[in-house]
Structure 1
Amino acid sequence: MTGLPALLRRRRSARRQAAIRDRCDTAYLGDHRALVRVLGRYKMFVDTRDVDIGAHLLLDGFWEMWVTELLPRLIRPGFVCVDVGAHVGYFTMLMADLAGPSGLVHAFEPNPALRGMLDDAARVNGFAGQVRSYGDPVYDAAGLAAELVVTITQPSGAHVRILPEGDPAATLRTCRLDAVAGLDRADFVKIDAESSEEAIWRGMRGLLDQRRPMTVLLEFASIRYADPAGFLAAIAGEGFALHRTDPGRGLRRTSVAEILRAPPACELMLVLIR
């Protein structure tokens, strides 16, 4: 067996990463666009000017291995997954593969260039029937005027800015997750949206109220929120157990107090499980 399942059977992350690097291959397609093999398995497209995620995919064939290794433990066949801040679709491809033909992935990426590469990756990997992509930024209200503030060299740092109605800079309209047509439930949700996380959480109200088992992978940095303790209390109040993941220690239980002790600008990847 080749690809992700076989690689995940390797004992240590360092050996796994070395094996993935050995299988990484790239082809420059012109116009700042390259085709790359990631995780020894998926064909993906990247912008060669991207000095962040794109650079890692081009040279290593993986991104955030400590998070990548978690997904097979958290996603099962038939799952409905949501990827908010999907970028070029790295985690979207994993979700689609792990959820299988009976599963579904709703991927949200407001950067049209990145969304186009995500759609191309879904097609070339045979996941077009499982992946639904959206260009709407996710927020706590639908139909708000918005723009995406982004740089070519670091598109992963883009953030959504809400604008007054009628502002000529507005090129986007927001949506709520619990109002997306066809998104009737969510088993696994990833939220990585550069300061919009709390608003996205509020826009999940209808999904949270189902009280179903759910796992949420949430990037959290205290500096982004007016009341970080209140945000964490709201999460815990929905019945989620707090975990965090890091490169050295893997997945472990954590607490509101421990999370708040981190430097305010430190980006933590929280895993919320109920």
Structure 2
Amino acid sequence: MNLSNQQVTLNHGVGAGLKFHGDGSNPDFARGTYELPLQNALASCLNRDHIFYDIGANIGFFTIIAAKLVGPSGQVYAFEPVPNNADIIRRNVELNSFSNVTVFPQAVSESTGTGELLLAHHSGGATLATAGTPPDLRGEMTVDLVCIDDLVSQKTLKPPTVVKIDVEGAEINVLRGMIQTIKEYQPILIYEVDDGNQESFKLKNQTIEIFIDSLGYKIMPLEPAYPNIPWYVGHAIAFSKLN
């Protein structure tokens, strides 16, 4: 039986006890063992009443973990532009009766507008056309783009405590679009960088590190979540030196 495409109760990880409906893309979701270093990072820095931004939320695995950690008085904002993924997030939120999650079906970038989203066969592989092309490209669609600085200044979003960014190459665009929010509120930043080419991976990482460092942050790499796959993936957590 393909548990990754069934409703299950997570038995492992920070989300143990939560109900989860997968999409068949990764059995680690159903096991609760998906990206354990990132789960542990969230558990170490998210507390009751905190505000969490899940930018590139995929099917909501980290969304519901964060909702559990911040509690009813906290808030989770999940951004996911792939329609099927956003629907699954809503389903997972409903399965756990969370009332502290808001789902935004837009892509986050450095400015508000529209853009082309390149879709992938893997649910978490979609990316904006300006950031690259998925290796398993299956189509494209036009999506609305939102900018975090605009949403915060308009008071659509409460200021963040912790921000997770996993947007398949468009991380630097997200960061540029929230520079004022970062400067004013100094949230903890957790992000992923990935690429099939080692030199491209290093360049992406360096670009983000230079940007975050310029804002007065200290960056710490997390343990590898995928040490044995033929793809370069890294996660890091960054803390403001002012805190």
Q: CA offsets, 1:91-115, max 9 Å, x none? A: 1111111111111001011111111
Shift of 1:67: 1.6
Deviations 1:9-37 (A, max 9, x none): xxxxxxxxxxxxxxxxx897xxx952121
Is the 1:146–1:160 contact (alpha carbons within 8 Å) kept by the matching residues of 2? yes
Which residue number in structure 2 is paired with residue 103 of structure 1?
Answer: 74
Report runs of 4+ in structure 1 exceeding 4 Å deviation: 224-228
Equivalent residue for 1:143? Answer: 113
Preserved CA contact (<8 Å) 2:51 2:158: no
State which structure, 1 or 2, has the greater radius of gyration over its C-alpha atoms: 1
Which of 182, 197, 208 pairs up with 2:156? 182
C-alpha separation between the residues in 1 aligned to 2:179 and 2:186?
A: 15
Using a 3 Å threshold, how does the CA distance of structure 1 residues 270 and 76 change in structure 2: closer, same or farther?
Answer: same
Distance 1:213 1:145 in 2: 28
Match of 1:117 in 2: 88
Q: Which letter maps to 2:160?
A: A
CA contact (8 A) 2:115 2:128 kept: no
Q: Which moved more, 1:81-90 or 1:229-238?
A: 229-238
Q: 1:229 to 1:61 in 2, by over 3 A?
A: closer
TM-score (normalizing by structure 1): 0.72
Cα RMSD (Å): 2.5
Report how far residue 185 of structure 1 moved. 0.8
How much has 1:177 moved relative to structure 2? 1.4
The 8 Å contact of residues 195 and 224 in structure 1, kept in 2 or not, is answered as no
Question: Corresponding residue for 2:57?
Answer: 86
In the alignment, what sits opposite 1:207?
Answer: 181
User: C-alpha separation between the residues in 2 aligned to 1:174 and 1:224?
Assistant: 25
Higher relative contact order (CA 8 A, sep 6+): 2
CA distance in structure 2 between the aligned counterparts of 1:244 and 1:107, rounded to whole angstroms? 23
Matched, 1:233 2:199: no
1:131 aligns with 2:101: yes
Find the aligned partners of 1:111 and 1:219 in 2 and give their Cα distance. 18
Structure 2 residue aligned with 1:66:
37
Q: Give the secondary-structure state (helix, strand or coil) at the position aligned to 1:120.
A: helix
Structure 1 residues 66 and 170, CA gap change in structure 2 (3 angstroms): closer
Identity %: 22
Query: 1:35: which partner in 2?
Result: 7
Kindly provide the amino acid, as one letter, of the partner of residue 157 in structure 1. Answer: G
Gaps of 5+ in 1: 1-25, 164-168, 249-264
How many residues are matched?
A: 216
Please tell me the residue identity of whatever aligns with 2:193: F
**C-alpha spacing 1:205/1:217, structure 2 compared with 1 (3 Å):** same
